């Protein structure tokens, strides 16, 4: 596979290799490996699309979810849905054949969308963490602004603007500033892929600063919860405790999915790809996209409102039997 300039070879033998040739595919995989990889990639894309569609539909159909903080979950679901609907499908043929067949123009569009959507997903997680931080540590002023719908909308738009500015100008104009392109005509990866200094600066803003920020917010949330538990009954502390728990799960998933790719990308840029095993880098690349498929499944585990909304969509009869009962607010 050629993954953004990285070449990985899995050579088949005998009949399997001949079958790959008959399918018009390069001799990089046995047929069995090719089918398995294609199945897993398509499955991940479908799970990402369907999971995030469910979150978006839940938000549209259930008015109870139209809480100020839940708009940020909607923003996250939109970015993750676009990753599964646009970025993954275009990348799969390139990953399997090692050749980009869709032209230089669509390559640039794919790169812009991929970097934009993944960065927006990260920034949305930071915004969700910050919003929960305010709801717990500054509860009075936070509740006073609950009816101001323009406030979350402005923040949601700002997320996309900042994400656009981080990578997109470099993707579009790097080769014009440098005076030449280092990307072959049949390949598709960013011109700055081996520029260690740019990757370090961009990764600091895209991953390290967000990770430190969400860690800071969560530490303060836990400290505030502990303080409340010392001065009040446990029954009055259940809501912030659930908020902190749900955030911790989402943040941990983000860190596990993003840290390997970010670190290997920086290391690879520093040593020009000679010190990072190609297959390991490929795994971390897909692990990054895995985060977009995990996020929708984290909501019902941590938010009763989302769980009930999903039940209303997927199991309307079962939801009707529970409708008369009380559902915890979140």
Instruction: Output the DSSP codes for 178-234.
Output: HTS--S-TT----TTTT-HHHHHHHHIIIIIHHHHHHHHHHHHHHHHHHHHHHHS-G
CA 266/CA 42 separation, integer angstroms: 28
CA 299/CA 303 separation, integer angstroms: 6
Structure tokens at 79: 């970015």
Q: What is the pLDDT along the chain (330 residues), one digit of tens a residue?
A: 344 444 443 333 333 333 333 334 444 567 788 889 899 999 999 999 999 999 999 988 888 888 877 888 899 999 999 999 999 999 998 888 888 999 999 999 999 999 999 999 999 989 988 888 888 888 777 776 665 555 788 889 999 999 999 999 999 999 998 888 888 888 898 888 888 889 889 999 999 999 999 889 888 887 887 777 776 655 555 565 666 676 677 778 888 999 998 888 888 777 776 777 767 877 888 999 999 999 888 866 667 788 888 888 888 777 777 766 554 444
What is the DSSP secondary structure assignment for residue 151, as one 8-state letter? H
What is the DSSP secondary structure assignment for residue 112, as one 8-state letter? H
Give CA separation, 127 vs 80, 114, 211, in Å.
Answer: 15, 20, 12
Give CATH for domain 2-305: 1.20.1070.10
What is the DSSP secondary structure assignment for residue 64, as one 8-state letter? G
pTM: 0.81
**Annotated domain spans of the chain:** 2-305
Q: Are 305 and 62 in contact (CB under 8 A)?
A: yes
């Amino acid at each position: 596979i050629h993954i953004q300039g990285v070449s990985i070879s899995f050579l088949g033998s005998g009949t399997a290799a001949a079958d790959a040739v008959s399918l018009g595919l390069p001799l990089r995989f046995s047929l069995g490996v090719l089918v398995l990889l294609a199945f897993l990639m398509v499955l991940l894309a479908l799970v990402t699309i369907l999971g995030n569609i469910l979150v978006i539909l839940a938000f549209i159909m259930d008015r109870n979810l139209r809480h100020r903080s839940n708009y940020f979950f909607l923003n996250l679901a939109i970015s993750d849905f676009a990753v599964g609907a646009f970025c993954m499908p275009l990348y799969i043929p390139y990953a399997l054949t090692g050749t980009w067949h869709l032209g230089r123009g669509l390559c640039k569009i794919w790169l812009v969308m991929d970097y934009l959507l993944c960065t927006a997903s990260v920034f949305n997680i930071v915004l969700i963490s910050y919003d929960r931080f305010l709801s717990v540590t500054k509860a009075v002023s936070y509740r006073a602004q609950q009816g101001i719908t323009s406030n979350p909308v402005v923040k949601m738009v700002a997320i996309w603007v900042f994400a656009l500015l981080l990578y997109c100008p470099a993707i579009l104009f790097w080769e014009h500033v440098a005076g030449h392109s280092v990307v072959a005509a049949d390949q598709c990866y960013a011109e700055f892929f081996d520029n260690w200094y740019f990757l370090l600066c961009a990764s600091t803003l895209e991953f390290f600063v967000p990770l430190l920020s969400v860690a800071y917010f969560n530490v303060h949330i836990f400290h505030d919860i502990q303080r409340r538990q010392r001065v009040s009954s446990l029954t009055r502390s259940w809501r912030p405790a659930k908020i902190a728990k749900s955030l911790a799960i989402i943040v941990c998933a983000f860190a596990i999915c993003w840290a390997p790719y970010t670190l290997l990308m920086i290391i690879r840029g520093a040593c020009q790809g000679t010190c990072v095993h190609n297959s390991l880098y490929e795994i971390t690349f897909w692990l990054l996209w895995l985060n977009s498929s995990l996020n929708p499944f984290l909501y019902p585990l941590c938010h009763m409102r989302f769980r009930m909304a999903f039940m209303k969509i997927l199991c309307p009869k079962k939801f009707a039997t529970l409708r008369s009962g009380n559902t915890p607010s979140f």
